[in-house]
A and B are shown apart, each in its own frame.
Chain A
Amino acid sequence: MSIRQAEVVKVAHLARLAIPEERLEGYTHTISDILDLVALMNAVNTDGVLPLSNPLDAVQLLREDVVTETNQRELYQSIAPRVEDGLYLVPKVIE
């Protein structure tokens, strides 16, 4: 196995996914298989090769720092699960 169950638990937590105990073994298996497939990369010497992050080697565009958006809070909050007085509601964070 290229990845242990404990690592899957850790990564699932980093990704904020509540993986149930009974699914852990299956997930670990599949993810391990995928990592084995990916390991094919290790056979290739990439010393001195520049990483390609954008296929056109483009760089981020800059624009004038001017206001282009209008406030649409009501519209955006109309599709939120829980809203009150223009605020998004989440469970209590500070006891």
Chain B
Amino acid sequence: MTVATQGDLSTLTSKELHHKIVNGDISVMELVEIFLQRIEKYDPQLNAYITVVQDQARTQAIAIDNKIRSGELNHPLAGVPYALKDLFCTKGILTSCGSKMLSNFISPYDATVYDKLNHAGAVLLGKVNMDEFAMGSSNENSFYGAVANPWDITRVPGGSSGGSAAAVAAGLAPYSLGSDTGGSVRQPASYCGISSIKPTYGRISRYGMTAFASSLDQCGVMARSAEDMALVLHAISGFDGKDSTSAMMPVPDYSETLNDSLAGLRIGIPKEFFAEGLDADVAKVIHEAVQKFTQLGATVKEVSLPNSHLSVAAYYVIAPAEASANLARFDGVRFGYSCNDPKNLQDLYERSRWEGFGDEVKRRIVIGTYALSSGYYDAYYLKAQKIRRLIKNDFVAAFNEVDVLMGPVTPTTAYKIGEKSDDPIAMYLGDIYTLPISLAGVPAVSIPVGFSDNLPVGLQIIGDYFNEAKLLNVAHQYQQVTDWHRQSPSQFSGV
């Protein structure tokens, strides 16, 4: 089932592709053509892309080839193609958020991350599928249909950044930007056997990234290696005057510290992440991965995050409450879907919203509106925010004792398409290991560390606020002595 195909261009890292371009082994144009052909050939089985921008990619490729040759452009991502989750605004290109509500929305402006990657000379291949408005853990809640997992196309790729994960895993893009509110880059990366990072809340500007839950949302990077994530994260991070919640913190060169030794690294294992509910085979793979770090000189001790079991409850109040406010802007008047023949203004609002949103989004809007309504605010939203403080304090205490925390990303590997789609509660409970990190706002990476029944297993490495450099260093050192991140599904191999 698995092959380590080092020579195949579609399995190379962004760093390796950039070197090939600079060395003259391949032009940006040739590289872009290869990826466009692969998308045409393989995407019908996966449904990862909502929009492919062939013409724009070719035009951009010519311009970047010239700029690289003339020496005008020397960014380490120059010429390397990529895909954007379909919630990042891209001028002149559909930005659907996986929703009927925005199935006609051509953004009049660019997201800051897209703008930054354009300046770096990166080439956009297209916009990738996602759960509607990033609400979901399986990518089954998309107006554009479910996405398949490249390791087993009868299974989900995870969500909500399922299109990003499937595209990178199948070699239909070297990297992709996703968004993570409760685990939406880490969980699909884990299910699809690729690397991802959800940085600290506020690390990356969210200007032009469609809002779901504003106190949680953060852009994340999904790629083939920690080294690639270091390059992309460096390119897109930093304060942005257009997003007042972005952090005014210096952006280190994450590549510079990748090779630091792990001797003396203190790893904490949160015991709550290994309690009942974790699949025994997944637990075994995770323990083996942690063992590898001790061979690299790290020490391991058990720690406790005593309030982490409250994360699902607190999250499913806070996220829907904020979503209900953010999604109030969709009114059928200014942009997006508008119902036919509205009888009056109320009918226009109520029917446009009922017809334009899918079921999961509507469920969360109702829950959120209820939690914020008169008489219930203290019992739900305020209570959840207090519990959020307790969860944050758990992490602050843990990082007084250890440098990083390690555990599983998900309790199981990828499940079958349709298996949980009628049971939202079962789906929510699958987020148990990613939600505490989102609520605390700390950064975490997930990297592939093995297989269980031929399906990828991801390790989650959690760091202290703004310590992305340490996480990438730790992940990179692991990837120097293992090759799980170089495995690709054989079904999609070959140029």
B125 interface residue (CB < 8 Å to A) = no
- Asked whether, in the complex, the Cβ of B215 is within 8 Å of the Cβ of A53, the reply is yes
On whether the beta carbons of B383 and A41 are closer than 8 Å, the reply is: yes
Question: A34: which of B106, B367, B383 is its contact (CB, 8 Å)?
Answer: B367
* Shortest Cβ distance from residue A91 to the other chain B in the assembled complex, whole angstroms: 5
B363 touches A30 (CB 8 A): yes
Question: Is A79 in contact with B428, judged by CB distance below 8 angstroms?
Answer: no
B415 at the interface (CB under 8 A from A): no
Option from B390, B392, B465 in Cβ contact (under 8 Å) with A44: B390
Point out the residue from B328, B344, B354, B366 that lies within 8 Å of A31, measured CB to CB.
B366
Cβ of B433 to closest chain A Cβ, rounded Å: 17
Task: Report how far A15 CA is from B348 CA in the complex, Å.
Answer: 13
State the main secondary structure of chain B at its contact with A.
helix
Please judge, given known A-B contacts A17-B362, A44-B387, whether A72 and B313 are in contact too, CB under 8 Å: no
Q: How far is the CA of A93 from the CA of B348 in the complex (A)?
A: 11
Contact B348 A91 (CB under 8 A): yes
- Which A residues touch B335, using CB under 8 A? 76, 79-81
Which of A8, A55, A58, A90 lies in contact with B333, CB distance below 8 A? A90
Which residues of B lie under 8 Å from residue A7 when comparing CB positions? 370
A79–B95 Cα distance when bound, in Å, is: 12
**Complex Cα gap A83–B460 (Å):** 49
Is A88 touching B334 in the complex (CB atoms < 8 A)? yes
Known: A15-B365, A81-B333, A81-B338. A91 touches B387 (CB 8 A): no
Task: Indicate whether B105 reaches chain A with its CB closer than 8 angstroms.
Answer: yes
Compute how far the CA of A63 lies from the CA of B425 in the bound complex, rounded to whole angstroms. Answer: 43
| B370 vs chain A, min Cβ distance (A) | 5
- Chain B min CB distance to A20 (Å): 8
Closest beta carbon of chain B to A93's beta carbon, Å: 6
Q: How far is the CB of A45 from chain B (nearest CB, A)?
A: 10
In the complex the two chains form, is B387's CB within 8 Å of A46's CB? yes
Q: Which of A23-44 contact B (CB under 8 A)?
A: 27, 30-31, 33-35, 37-42, 44
Inter-chain contacts of A80 with B (CB < 8 A): 333-335
Chain B residues lying within 8 Å of A31, measured Cβ to Cβ, are 363, 366-367, 370
Interface size class for chain A? 35 or more
When chains A and B are docked, how far (Å) is the Cα of A31 from the Cα of B389? Answer: 25
Is the beta-carbon distance between A17 and B108 smaller than 8 angstroms? no
1/0 per residue, CB under 8 A from B, across A72-94: the answer is 10011011111000001011110
- List, in ascending order, chain B residues with CB within 8 A of A18's CB: 347, 350-351, 353-354
B313 touches A52 (CB 8 A): no
Q: Are B392's CB and A34's CB within 8 A? A: no
Q: How many angstroms from the CA of A41 to the CA of B380 in the assembled complex? A: 9
Any B CB within 8 A of the CB of A54: yes
* Known contacts A18-B347, A34-B363, A38-B316; is-contact A49 B390 (Cβ 8 Å): yes
Contact B108 A75 (CB under 8 A): yes
A16 to B349, Cβ gap below 8 A?
yes
Task: Tell me the chain B residues, 274-323 only, with Cβ under 8 Å from chain A.
Answer: 307, 309-310, 312-314, 316-317
A14: chain B residues within 8 A (beta carbon): 369, 373
Instruction: Kindly state the separation between the CA atoms of A33 and B426 in the bound complex, as whole angstroms.
Output: 11
CA distance A44 to B474 in the complex (A): 35
A11's partner among B346, B369, B390 (CB-CB below 8 A) is B369
Partner-contacting stretch, out of B27-35, B241-249, B399-407, B447-455: B241-249
Residues of A within 8 A of B387 (CB): 41, 44, 46, 49
Chain A residues in 8 Å Cβ range of B316:
34, 37-38
Task: Please pick, from A39, A51, A56, A88, the residue contacting B247 in the complex, using a CB distance under 8 A.
Answer: A56
A15 surroundings in chain B (CB, below 8 A): 324, 328, 353, 365-366, 369
With both beta carbons as reference points, the residue of chain A lying nearest to B390 in the complex is identified as A49
In the complex, residue of chain A having the shortest beta-carbon distance to the beta carbon of B381: A51
Checking A46, A55, A75 against B386 with a beta-carbon cut-off of 8 angstroms, the contacting residue is A46
Picked from A37, A39, A51, A78, the residue with its CB within 8 Å of the CB of B108 is A78
Contact call A63/B108, Cβ cutoff below 8 A: no
Residues of the B chain whose Cβ atoms lie less than 8 Å from the Cβ of A44: 307, 310, 387, 390
Q: Does B345 contact A (CB under 8 A)?
A: yes
Q: Is B440 an interface residue when CB atoms closer than 8 A count as contact?
A: yes
Contact between B390 and A19, CB atoms less than 8 A apart: no
Known: A30-B424, A50-B389, A51-B389. A58 touches B353 (CB 8 A): no
Is B385 touching A51 in the complex (CB atoms < 8 A)? Answer: yes
> Is B158 in contact with chain A by the CB < 8 A criterion?
no
Subset of 16 A-B contacts with CB under 8 Å: A3-B370, A11-B369, A11-B370, A17-B357, A17-B362, A18-B347, A31-B366, A37-B312, A37-B313, A40-B310, A55-B388, A88-B333, A90-B345, A90-B348, A91-B342, A92-B344
Q: Given A37-B425, A50-B386, A55-B442, output 7 extra A-B contacts at Cβ < 8 Å.
A: A14-B373, A16-B346, A31-B363, A34-B367, A38-B313, A44-B310, A50-B389
Ranked nearest first, the 6 interchain pairs of A and B with the lowest CB-CB distance are A55-B441, A51-B385, A18-B350, A81-B338, A46-B386, A52-B389
Give the interface of B toward A (CB within 8 A): 104-106, 108, 200-202, 215-216, 241, 244-245, 247, 307, 309-310, 312-314, 316-317, 324, 328, 331-336, 338, 342-351, 353-354, 357, 362-363, 365-367, 369-370, 373, 380, 382-390, 392, 424-425, 428, 439-442, 465
